[in-house]
C-alpha cells in the first residue's frame, strides 16, 4: 500500500525521522589509520541511543518514561542483559587489515562480511611489518600471547626475514600472474602479512561482544588497535550505550559460583589461599608448585584488580 504523507506513522515522541548524530556524521568516509597500511572507515550507521530507548519502550510501555530516564533505561537494559534493543543500532565499516588479523576477526560470525577477492583482483603490494617493540617472547602465562622483550638482534633478524620473505613472495606472485597462472592460484604464494579489505556490518549488541573480547588485554595487540578505532566510532553514534558497556562489561567483573564461595571465605576472615582451597580453586599443582594459570590464579587476579581501583 502506498504510504501517503497524511498516513505517516508517529510514536509517543512525535513523527518518525531518521536518527542523525552530527558527531558521527562527520566521521563517515574518514579513514582512521591502523598499523602500517590499515584503516577503519565508518561507511554508514542506523540508529543511536534514542533508537535503543524507542525499541525498549515498545516492550516496557508508555509508563516507562516516568519511571526512569533514557540513560537509566539503557543502563538497566545492559545490566540485566536485555539485548534486543541494542540490535536496533547498526554500523557498516570498511576495514583494511592484515590477513592474520582478519582470520581472528572473522571468528565473530554475527556480522555481514564482503571481502576483497584475490580471485578477481590483483593483491596490492602492501604487507604488515611490526614495530620492533611489538616483537617479543612467547608469554609464559598466556599461551596465545607475547610476553617479555627479546634481544635486539633477534627482533631485527625477525623483521628482516619478514621483509625479505614478503618481497620475495610478491615477486613470485607477480611472475606467476605474468606467466598466466590464475589469480586464485597465484595468491597462494602470499603470506598472511599481506593486507585484505572488507565491508563489515554488525549491530551494537554483537559489536559489544566483539569489543569485549578484542579490547581485552589478552587479545592480540594488532586486533586491539582496530577494536579501539571501532569503539571510538561507536561512542560517537551511541555514547550512552557505550558508557554503559564500558561500565558493566569492560570495567565490571563476573564471578563464578566457586569464586563467590571463595569471596565469602575472605569476608569471613580466611586468607586468599585458604578461601581458594575451600572453594576448590586450585593454586598449586599436585607436586606443590604454584600454578601460573587456571581458575584460582584468575580469581586472585580479579582480587588484585579490585584492590587497585
First and final C-alpha spacing in the chain: 58
Look at the domain 20-120+193-250 and name its fold: Gyrase A; domain 2 (3.30.1360)
pLDDT tens track, the chain, 309 positions: 445 555 555 555 566 778 889 999 999 999 999 999 999 999 999 999 999 999 998 765 555 454 458 999 999 999 999 999 999 999 999 999 999 999 999 999 899 999 999 999 999 999 999 999 999 999 887 778 898 999 999 999 999 999 999 999 999 999 999 999 999 999 999 999 999 999 999 999 999 999 999 999 889 999 999 999 999 999 999 999 999 999 999 999 999 999 999 999 999 999 999 999 999 999 999 898 999 889 999 999 999 999 988
For position 156, what pLDDT does the model report? Answer: 98
Catalytic (active site) residue 214? yes
Q: What is the pTM of this model?
A: 0.88
The residue ranges of DSSP E strands in the chain, in sequence order, are 10-11, 14-15, 31-34, 38-46, 90-98, 112-115, 136-138, 146-149, 195-203
Cα gap 122→289, rounded to integer Å: 54
Residue 272: φ, ψ to 5°: -55, -40
Q: Residue 56's CB: how many other CB atoms inside 10 A?
A: 20
For position 123, what pLDDT does the model report? Answer: 97
CA separation (Å) from 219 to 105, 108, 225, 234? Answer: 11, 14, 10, 19
Question: Which is nearest to 105 in space by CA: 241, 243, 230?
Answer: 230
For position 104, what pLDDT does the model report? Answer: 95
32, 57, 96, 214: which one is catalytic? Answer: 214
At residue 92, the 3 state secondary structure works out as strand
CA angle 87, 93, 235 (to 5 degrees): 60
Amino acid at each position: 500500500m502506498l504510504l501517503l504523507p497524511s498516513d505517516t506513522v508517529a510514536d509517543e515522541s512525535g513523527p518518525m525521522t531518521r536518527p542523525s548524530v552530527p558527531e558521527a556524521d562527520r566521521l563517515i568516509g574518514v579513514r582512521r589509520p591502523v598499523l602500517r597500511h590499515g584503516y577503519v572507515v565508518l561507511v554508514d550507521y542506523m540508529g543511536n541511543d534514542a533508537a535503543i530507548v524507542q525499541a525498549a519502550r515498545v516492550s516496557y510501555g508508555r509508563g516507562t518514561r516516568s519511571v526512569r530516564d533514557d540513560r537509566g533505561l539503557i543502563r538497566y537494559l545492559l545490566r540485566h542483559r536485555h539485548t534486543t534493543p541494542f540490535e536496533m543500532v547498526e554500523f557498516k565499516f570498511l576495514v583494511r587489515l592484515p590477513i592474520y588479523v582478519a582470520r581472528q576477526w572473522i571468528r565473530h560470525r554475527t556480522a555481514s562480511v564482503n571481502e576483497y577477492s584475490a580471485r578477481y583482483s590483483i593483491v596490492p603490494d602492501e604487507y604488515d611489518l611490526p614495530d620492533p617493540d611489538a616483537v617479543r617472547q612467547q608469554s609464559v602465562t598466556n599461551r596465545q600471547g607475547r610476553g617479555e622483550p627479546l634481544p635486539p638482534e633477534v627482533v631485527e633478524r625477525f623483521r628482516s626475514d619478514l621483509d625479505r620473505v614478503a618481497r620475495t613472495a610478491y615477486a613470485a606472485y607477480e611472475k606467476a600472474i605474468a606467466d598466466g597462472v590464475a589469480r586464485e592460484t597465484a595468491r597462494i604464494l602470499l603470506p598472511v602479512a599481506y593486507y585484505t579489505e572488507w565491508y563489515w556490518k554488525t549491530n551494537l549488541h554483537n559489536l559489544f561482544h566483539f569489543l569485549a573480547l578484542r579490547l581485552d588485554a589478552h587479545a592480540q595487540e594488532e586486533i586491539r588497535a582496530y577494536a579501539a578505532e571501532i569503539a571510538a566510532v561507536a561512542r560517537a553514534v551511541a555514547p550512552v550505550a557505550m558508557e554503559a558497556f564500558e561500565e558493566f562489561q569492560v570495567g565490571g567483573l563476573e564471578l563464578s559460583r566457586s569464586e563467590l564461595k571463595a569471596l565469602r571465605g575472605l569476608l569471613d576472615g580466611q586468607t586468599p589461599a585458604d578461601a581458594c582451597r575451600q572453594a576448590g580453586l586450585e593454586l598449586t599443582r599436585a607436586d606443590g608448585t604454584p600454578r601460573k594459570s587456571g581458575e584460582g590464579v584468575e580469581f586472585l587476579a580479579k582480587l588484585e584488580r579490585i584492590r587497585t581501583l
